[in-house]
C-alpha cells in the first residue's frame, strides 16, 4: 500500500531532528510513493511481493535525498535496477556490480523539453499535465537521472552536425541525438573510488558526459555515468570490455604494491633475516619464492572477506593465485599465511592440491597452486546442483581419505575439512586444499586450538583442550 505522510511507514518522515531533515524526508517519501505506485501499476512482479514496500523505502532511506530528487520517476524500473546492483555489491565476488544500457538524450532543439521537470521528480505532476515532457518518440530510454543542460546541448550539437552533413537517416526524428551509453556501478565505497572509475572508463576510450555519484549510509556506492565513444549500440561487448579493464586494474594495483626482486633462494632470505618478508619456517630444502612479474592474471574465480582467488598462468603453467587483501592483513593474518606456506611446501600427493610457490612480501601476499578446473565439491553440489552417483561418491570418499591419510602420516592436522576445501580437477580427482588453519603436530602431540570453520571443528576445540 502506498504510504501517506502521516502513516506508520510515513512516520519515517517525522523521526528527524530538524526542519531541514524533516523536509528532506518528506521529499524522499513523496518520490518513494510515486515510484511504488508506478511499479505496481506496471505489474512488476517484484513490486507485488510481500514486504517490497519496506525494501523499497530502505533503498531510498540509505541513499541521500539528492538521489530521490534527481532520479527520473517516469523510469521507476531504474530504481529497481539500482536496488538490485546495491544488493549484488554486498557480495565481494560481484564487485563492482555493473549495468550497461543504451540511452537517448532529448535535444533542447525540441521545444518540448523542460529541464526543470526532468531534474526534479517532485515537479512530476506539472510534467504529466504538459504534453511537452515526454520521451515517447525516443527509441531508447532516457538516462536514469534525466539529463543536464550540458547533455542536451551535446545532443543539439550532434543534430546540427548531422544536418550539415545531410545525414538524417540515423533517426527518423532529428530531435534526438545518436544514442549514448549509461553505465551504473555499485561497489564498496572507498577513498578515490570516483577517480578510479573515471580512469577505468577513459582507458577504454569513453568520454564521460555526465556523472552522478551517491554513497549509502552503510558504506556502498552507486555511480552512474552517461558516456559516448563506444562505436557500437549493443551493450554486451562494452560490459565485457569493462570487466576486463576492472581485472587489469586490480592486477596492476597488486603488482604495483609488490616491489619484489626476482626469485631468491629461501635459505638466503632466512639467514639474512629480511624483515620485509613474512617469516616462514625454513628447512633449507627447496626454493619456492615466486617473481610476481611471471604471474599473468586471467579472471577472478572467487572472492571473500580476506582475499581473492584468480585463475592465471605462471611461466605458461595454468595456476590458481590466492591473493590476500592488503587492507585485511594484520599480524594474525600473516601468521596464518606463513603457516599455510610452510605446510603446503612440505606436501606432495595426488590427493592434495599441489603448491607451486608464494610471494611473501607484505602488503601483497599470495599463494600459487595448481588450478583445479572442476571447482569445489561444495559448488558442484549446491551451486551447480550436481549429484554424485554411488560409485562416484565412493571414489570421492576414497580420494579424500587418501589425501587426509597422507597428511596425518606427515603429522599435519588439517582442522578445516569441508566440501568447500575439497577441489576437483578436470578428471574428477578430488584433492584436499586450504591449509590456512592447519597445524604440524608437535612432538608432545599437543596443539593449541586457534581458528577454523566452527561447523567442522573437532569437539576438543569447544572444550578448550589442546589437540
CATH, residue 335 = 3.30.200.20
Q: Is 104 in contact with 179 (CB distance < 8 Å)? A: yes
- pLDDT attached to residue 461: 52
In a domain, 337, yes or no: yes
SS3 354: coil
In a domain, 50, yes or no: yes
> If you search the block for the grid coordinates 635459505, which residue do you land on?
267
- pLDDT attached to residue 129: 39
- pLDDT attached to residue 448: 43
Its pTM stands at: 0.52
**421-450 confidence digits (pLDDT tens):** 899 998 889 999 887 655 555 544 444 444
Q: Which of 342, 284, 309, 278 is nearest to 420 (CA)?
A: 309
> If you search the block for the grid coordinates 606463513, which residue do you land on?
338
Question: Is residue 1 located within the same domain as residue 103?
Answer: no
In the chain, DSSP finds a helix count (H) and a strand count (E) of: 14, 14
Containing structural domain, residue 429: 376-462
pLDDT band (50, 70, 90) for residue 79: very high
Strands (E), 28-157: 97-103
The C-alpha atoms of residue 453 and residue 404 are separated, in whole angstroms, by 17
416: annotated active-site residue: yes
- Bridge partner residues of 101 (DSSP): 182
In a domain, 72, yes or no: no
* Start-end of H helices in 345-389: 377-378
The C-alpha atoms of residue 155 and residue 381 are separated, in whole angstroms, by 52
| For the ranges 71-85, 331-345, 410-424, the one whose mean pLDDT is highest | 71-85
Last residue of a domain, one of 336, 370, 404: 370
| For the ranges 176-185, 237-246, 282-291, the one whose mean pLDDT is highest | 237-246
Which value, in Å, is the radius of gyration of the alpha carbons in the chain? 28
Domains of the chain: total: 4
In a domain, 81, yes or no: no
Cell numbers at 148, concatenated: 543536464
pLDDT at 465 over 70: no
Tell me the percentage of the chain whose pLDDT exceeds 70: 66
Question: Is residue 390 located within the same domain as residue 457?
Answer: yes
In a domain, 71, yes or no: no
Q: Which range is least confidently modeled, 135-144, 353-362, 365-374, 436-445?
A: 436-445
Last residue of a domain, one of 324, 347, 370: 370
Q: Which range is least confidently modeled, 247-251, 329-333, 353-357, 400-404?
A: 247-251
Question: Is residue 364 located within the same domain as residue 428?
Answer: no
Q: Which of 70, 308, 416, 434 is catalytic?
A: 416
Q: Which of 96, 88, 84 is nearest to 246 (CA)?
A: 96
**249-295 confidence digits (pLDDT tens):** 776 666 555 444 333 333 333 334 344 566 665 555 456 788 888 88
The C-alpha atoms of residue 330 and residue 336 are separated, in whole angstroms, by 10
The C-alpha atoms of residue 37 and residue 251 are separated, in whole angstroms, by 45
pLDDT at 95 over 50: yes
In a domain, 93, yes or no: yes
Question: Is residue 202 located within the same domain as residue 317?
Answer: no
pLDDT at 349 over 70: yes
Amino acid at each position: 500500500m502506498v504510504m501517506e505522510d502521516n502513516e506508520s511507514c510515513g512516520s519515517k518522515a517525522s523521526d528527524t531532528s530538524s526542519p531541514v531533515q524533516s523536509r528532506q524526508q518528506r521529499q524522499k517519501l513523496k518520490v518513494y510513493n510515486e515510484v511504488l505506485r508506478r511499479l505496481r501499476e506496471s505489474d512488476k512482479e517484484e513490486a507485488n511481493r510481500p514486504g517490497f514496500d519496506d525494501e523499497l523505502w530502505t533503498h531510498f532511506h540509505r541513499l541521500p535525498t539528492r538521489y530521490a530528487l534527481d532520479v527520473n520517476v517516469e523510469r521507476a524500473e531504474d530504481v529497481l535496477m539500482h536496488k538490485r546492483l546495491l544488493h549484488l555489491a554486498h557480495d565481494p565476488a560481484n564487485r563492482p556490480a555493473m549495468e550497461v544500457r543504451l540511452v537517448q538524450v532529448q535535444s533542447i532543439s525540441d521545444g518540448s523539453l523542460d529541464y526543470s521537470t526532468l531534474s526534479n521528480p517532485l515537479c512530476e505532476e506539472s510534467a504529466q499535465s504538459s504534453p511537452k515532457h515526454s520521451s515517447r518518440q525516443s527509441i531508447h530510454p532516457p538516462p536514469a537521472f534525466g539529463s543536464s543542460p550540458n547533455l542536451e546541448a551535446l545532443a543539439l550539437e550532434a543534430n546540427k552536425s548531422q544536418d550539415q552533413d545531410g545525414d538524417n537517416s540515423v533517426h527518423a526524428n532529428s530531435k534526438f541525438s545518436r544514442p549514448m551509453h549509461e553505465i551504473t556501478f555499485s561497489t564498496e565505497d572507498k577513498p578515490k573510488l570516483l577517480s578510479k572509475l573515471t580512469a577505468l572508463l577513459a582507458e577504454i576510450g569513453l568520454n564521460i558526459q555526465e556523472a552522478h555519484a551517491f554513497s549509502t549510509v552503510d558504506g556502498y556506492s552507486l555511480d552512474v555515468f552517461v558516456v559516448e565513444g563506444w562505436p557500437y549500440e549493443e551493450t554486451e561487448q562494452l560490459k565485457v570490455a569493462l570487466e576486463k579493464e576492472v581485472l587489469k586494474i586490480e592486477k596492476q594495483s597488486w603488482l604495483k604494491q609488490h616491489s619484489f626482486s626476482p626469485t631468491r633462494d629461501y635459505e638466503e632470505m632466512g639467514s639474512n633475516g629480511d624483515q620485509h618478508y613474512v617469516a616462514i619456517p625454513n628447512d633449507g630444502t627447496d626454493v619456492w619464492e615466486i617473481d610476481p612479474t611471471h604471474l599473468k592474471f586471467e579472471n577472478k574465480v572467487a572472492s571473500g572477506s580476506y582475499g581473492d582467488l584468480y585463475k592465471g598462468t605462471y611461466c605458461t603453467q595454468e595456476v590458481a593465485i590466492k591473493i590476500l587483501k592488503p587492507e585485511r592483513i594484520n599480524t594474525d593474518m600473516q601468521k596464518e599465511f606463513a603457516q599455510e606456506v610452510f605446510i603446503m611446501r612440505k606436501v606432495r600427493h595426488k590427493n592434495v592440491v599441489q603448491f607451486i610457490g608464494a610471494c611473501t612480501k607484505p602488503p601483497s601476499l599470495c599463494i600459487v597452486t595448481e588450478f583445479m578446473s572442476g571447482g569445489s565439491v561444495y559448488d558442484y553440489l549446491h551451486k551447480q546442483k550436481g549429484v554424485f552417483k554411488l560409485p562416484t561418491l565412493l571414489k570421492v570418499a576414497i580420494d579424500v581419505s587418501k589425501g587426509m591419510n597422507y597428511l596425518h602420516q606427515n603429522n599435519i592436522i588439517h582442522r578445516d575439512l569441508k566440501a568447500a576445501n575439497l577441489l576437483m580437477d578436470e578428471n574428477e580427482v578430488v584433492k584436499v586444499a586450504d591449509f590456512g588453519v592447519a597445524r604440524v603436530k608437535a612432538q608432545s602431540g599437543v596443539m593449541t586450538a586457534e581458528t577454523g570453520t566452527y561447523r567442522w571443528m573437532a569437539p576438543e576445540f569447544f572444550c578448550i583442550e589442546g589437540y
